Amino acid sequence: MSEEELMIQQLFNEEKLTDKQKKIIVAAIESFSEKGYSATSTSEIAKKAGVAEGTIFRHYKTKKDLLLSIVAPLMTKLIGPFVVNDFNKVLDRKYDRVEDFLKATIENRREVLIKLLPVVKILLQEIPFQPELREQFFEQIAKKIFDRVSLIIKGYQEKGELIEMPPESVARLAITSILGYLFSRYVLFPQLEWDDELETERTVQFIMHGLGKK
């Protein structure tokens, strides 16, 4: 069984999908990831899936219905649990230094991003424009991770290793720096020559010290 077929089986195991529907979903994921939702036509998806365009509209009323039918279960069954549970490996460990916690966070998020890159691209492209996806992302992923990271930051503040600032603000600044680096590395500019170890260290130092001279 291919990776795509396994993913579809995990995501839609409660539904009875025809072979044509499975091909449509695989083709849609590939196309949305490569070109973006707006730039992808249903005729392209049909061609890639090897079905007539009318077959798509028999199962999905609009292109948006097709997108939501893919991304909603991806978020609920795959991305949400995978991202949260996988990150718990980092959050459950005790790190003596903030720097070690940040490095572990970057490496963990890097592995997740590489594994789920096609789907992550679709999410990044569509979350700003699809309120349903944005709400799901917040409830399934962002809130669960944000709350735990804020608690860990509070612990480091109590030990005197981080400045006094609302933990939620520290979490936001740290998370956006890490995600900004990973987004540039794997989505925006993957073709550039990257020194991953050096860039990880620079990201950690930026979070710890900022850019201003003391």
Task: Walk me through the domains of the chain, giving residue ranges and CATH numbers.
Answer: 2-59 (1.10.10.60), 70-209 (1.10.357)
Give the tens place of pLDDT for each residue, 18-72: 888 888 988 998 898 888 888 999 999 999 999 999 999 998 989 988 888 877 7
- Give the C-alpha separation, 83 to 108, whole Å: 10
Give the pLDDT of residue 42.
94
Give the pLDDT of residue 113.
81
* Cβ-contact 113, 120 below 8 angstroms: yes
Dig out the tokens for 124 from the structure.
């990044």
Quickly tell me which residue has 């612990």 as its tokens: 155
Considering only CA atoms, which of 173, 181, 182 is closest in space to residue 110? 182
Report DSSP state, residue 204. H
pLDDT in tens, the chain (214 residues): 555 566 666 566 656 778 888 889 889 988 988 888 889 999 999 999 999 999 999 989 899 888 888 777 777 766 777 677 778 888 888 898 999 999 999 998 888 788 778 777 887 778 888 787 788 888 877 888 888 889 899 999 998 999 899 999 999 999 899 989 998 998 889 899 999 999 999 999 999 988 676 6
Taking CA 125 as the corner, what is the angle to CA 120 and CA 126, rounded to the nearest 5 degrees?
Answer: 100
| Sequence-distant (≥ 6) Cβ neighbours of residue 110 within 8 angstroms | 182, 185, 186, 196
- Give the C-alpha separation, 184 to 10, whole Å: 30
Which residue intervals of 50-97 are DSSP H helices?
A: 53-59, 63-73, 80-91
Dig out the tokens for 98 from the structure.
């903030």
Give the pLDDT of residue 6.
62
Quickly tell me which residue has 């089986």 as its tokens: 9
**Residues 136, 138, 80, 185: is their CA dihedral positive or negative?**
positive
* pTM of the predicted structure, to 2 decimals: 0.71
Dig out the tokens for 70 from the structure.
């893919």
Region label for 82, one of left (φ > 0), alpha (ψ between -120 and 50) or beta (otherwise): alpha
